[in-house]
């Protein structure tokens, strides 16, 4: 089931209740040795554990069992959307990540500066991971490129990465990538795999040709690769599907961009600690029905393989939790967008421990928030996208289906 069922049957009803969703990025973990505890299980987190006792617990698959999600699908899932239906292309995510204001008809691609030899064959797909300063300098050159009938944006991301955005009427994003994913061969031409993208393929190839000429005598970056062409997906908004005035509290641009895609109001966060985020939550409590609060550093620590630091970020969140509970939210969801076990140093396919608190939830009485504890919870093993309907029900925001 997804929100379409709620819409088609007009199940969503207005209410004055408030729902808070805490997303700890990459929350799910693994023990460092067999039989050990996970990051979450080893963290000292009395407030989360106390909330667990009054909550329903479960293990959530963001996309489907076995699937390791990127940040886009992971968030779409916990936000209540089916990530197998709504896809956010890599180019769009990259543009969101630098706060680029993508229009509905823009086509965005992720760009790499790269190196080719005299014959045009790739020698380094990342141009020796050039410094951001050089990227900015080369970007200025690329910004001189003019294409017929479209505006061209070239925006530096970091190191060797940039974003290319084409803006104009009638652009399509059904395009192949130019990165051959190996060395010793030339970059591939962009090809349309749907007729409505043929004109865009032409333009993209013209961009690459001009870039090749402009960068010809540069070193170590003398060429570009383009990947993940994508338009902003048309995703129904939170207001439209859930009748929620939703606010996003996130420090990193990509997550702010993601929530903006769903029509959430992204609140400015002065500072970048978890405590700063909770201050924003408190200040805006009266003005929204739904709050998404994003904790990034669990994921970064997981990616770095730093078990202790990941556990510590969870403890930091735990210390702030009473500030949310003092606001008397009607429903609290605590979870993650995916797992990032320090053991694996990367996103993983493991289901994410989640809990849902409300006065009307049938609490499992399990006074611990952790992977093994959640295995025993009454939410069972569910898809992340099933959490939002349960949250809405507990918030008195769904009416009866059928007579």
Main-chain dihedrals φ then ψ at residue 303, nearest 5 degrees: -60, -35
List C-alpha distances in Å: 57 to 42, 53, 378. Answer: 18, 9, 6
Report, in Å, the least distance between residue 167 CB and its own copies: 21
Only one of the segments 14-22, 218-226, 327-335, 382-390 lies at the binding site for its own copies (rule: CB under 8 A); that segment is 382-390
Report, in Å, the least distance between residue 206 CB and its own copies: 26
Distance, CA of 387 to CA of 290 (rounded, Å): 14
Q: What is the DSSP letter of 319?
A: H
**Residue with Cβ nearer its own copies (115 or 334):** 334
CA dihedral 121, 126, 129, 132 (to 10 degrees): 110
| Binding map of its own copies across residues 300-319, x = CB under 8 A, - = no contact | --------------------
Q: Which residues touch 140 (CB under 8 Å, ≥6 apart)?
A: none
**Residue choice 12, 27, 39, 90 for contact with its own copies (CB under 8 A):** 90
**Cβ neighbour number for residue 113 with a 10 Å cutoff:** 30
Tell me which residues in 147-206 interact with its own copies (CB under 8 A): none
| Binding map of its own copies across residues 54-73, x = CB under 8 A, - = no contact | x---xx---xxxxxxxxxxx
258 within 8 A of 71, measured Cβ to Cβ: yes
Bond into 220 cis (ω within 30): yes
Tell me which residues in 31-50 interact with its own copies (CB under 8 A): 34-35, 38
254 within 8 A of 71, measured Cβ to Cβ: yes
Report, in Å, the least distance between residue 350 CB and its own copies: 5
Helix, strand or coil, per DSSP, at residue 202? helix
**Residue choice 124, 179, 337, 364 for contact with its own copies (CB under 8 A):** 364
Tokens of 82: 């089916």
Tell me which residues in 92-111 interact with its own copies (CB under 8 A): 93-94
Tokens of 12: 């969503």
| 265 bridge partner residues | 247
Residue with tokens 């001189």: 144
Helix, strand or coil, per DSSP, at residue 180? coil
Report, in Å, the least distance between residue 50 CB and its own copies: 12
**Residue with Cβ nearer its own copies (175 or 391):** 391
**Residue with Cβ nearer its own copies (147 or 344):** 344
Only one of the segments 53-61, 182-190, 276-284, 309-317 lies at the binding site for its own copies (rule: CB under 8 A); that segment is 53-61
| Binding map of its own copies across residues 320-359, x = CB under 8 A, - = no contact | -----------------------xx--xxxxx--------
**Residue choice 7, 11, 176, 191 for contact with its own copies (CB under 8 A):** 11
Report, in Å, the least distance between residue 221 CB and its own copies: 23
**Residue with Cβ nearer its own copies (320 or 339):** 339
Report, in Å, the least distance between residue 188 CB and its own copies: 16
| 282 bridge partner residues | none
Question: Judged by CB under 8 A, how many residues of this single chain contact its own copies?
Answer: 66
| Residue whose C-alpha is closest to residue 174's, from 149, 150, 191 | 191
Q: DSSP for 66-134? A: TPPP-HHHHHHHHTT--TTTS---HHHHHHHHTT----TT-EEEEEEEEEE-TTSBEEETTTTT--HHH
Report, in Å, the least distance between residue 66 CB and its own copies: 3
**Residue with Cβ nearer its own copies (18 or 280):** 18
Q: Which residues touch 282 (CB under 8 Å, ≥6 apart)?
A: 323, 327
Report, in Å, the least distance between residue 348 CB and its own copies: 8
Report, in Å, the least distance between residue 165 CB and its own copies: 16
Q: Does 129 bind its own copies (CB under 8 A)?
A: no
Residue with tokens 């994508």: 230
**Residue with Cβ nearer its own copies (87 or 198):** 87
CA 209-215-218 angle, 5° bins: 155
User: Which residues in this chain contact its own copies in the complex, by CB under 8 A?
Assistant: 1, 5, 11, 30, 34-35, 38, 54, 58-59, 63-73, 83-84, 87-90, 93-94, 228, 343-344, 347-351, 360, 362-365, 371-372, 375-382, 386, 388-394, 398-403
């Amino acid at each position: 089931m997804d929100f379409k069922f709620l819409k088609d049957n007009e199940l969503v009803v207005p209410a004055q209740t408030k729902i808070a969703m805490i997303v700890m990025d990459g929350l799910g973990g693994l023990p460092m040795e067999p039989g050990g505890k996970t990051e979450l299980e080893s963290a000292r987190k009395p407030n989360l554990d106390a909330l667990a006792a009054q909550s329903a617990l479960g293990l959530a698959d963001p996309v489907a069992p076995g699937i390791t999600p990127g940040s886009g699908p992971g968030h779409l899932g916990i936000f209540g959307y089916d990530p197998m239906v709504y896809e956010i292309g890599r180019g769009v995510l990259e543009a969101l990540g630098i706060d680029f204001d993508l229009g509905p008809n823009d086509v965005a691609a992720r760009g790499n500066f790269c190196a080719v030899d005299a014959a045009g064959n790739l020698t380094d797909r990342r141009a020796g991971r050039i410094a951001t300063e050089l990227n900015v300098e080369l970007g200025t050159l690329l910004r001189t490129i003019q294409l017929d009938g479209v505006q061209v944006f070239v925006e530096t991301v970091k190191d060797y990465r940039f974003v290319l955005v084409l803006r104009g009427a009638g652009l399509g994003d059904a395009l192949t990538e130019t990165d051959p994913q190996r060395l010793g061969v030339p970059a591939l031409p962009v090809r349309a795999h749907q007729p409505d993208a043929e004109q865009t393929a032409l333009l993209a190839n013209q961009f690459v040709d001009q870039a090749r000429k402009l960068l010809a005598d540069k070193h170590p970056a003398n060429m570009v690769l383009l990947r993940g062409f994508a338009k902003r997906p048309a995703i129904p908004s939170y207001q439209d599907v859930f009748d929620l005035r939703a606010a996003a509290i996130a420090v990193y641009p990509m997550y702010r961009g993601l929530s903006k895609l769903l029509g959430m109001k992204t609140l400015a966060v002065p500072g970048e600690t978890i405590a700063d985020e909770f201050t924003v939550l408190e200040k805006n409590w009266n003005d929204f029905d739904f709050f998404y609060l994003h904790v990034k550093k669990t994921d970064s620590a997981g990616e770095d393989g730093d078990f202790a630091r990941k556990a510590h970020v969870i403890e930091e969140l735990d210390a702030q939790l009473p500030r949310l509970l003092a606001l008397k939210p009607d429903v609290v969801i605590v979870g993650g967008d995916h797992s990032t076990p320090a053991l694996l140093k990367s996103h993983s396919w493991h289901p994410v421990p989640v809990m849902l608190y409300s006065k009307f939830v049938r609490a499992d009485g399990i006074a611990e928030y952790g992977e093994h504890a959640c295995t025993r919870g009454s939410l069972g093993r569910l898809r992340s996208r099933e959490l939002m309907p349960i949250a809405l029900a507990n918030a008195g925001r769904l009416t009866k289906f059928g007579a």
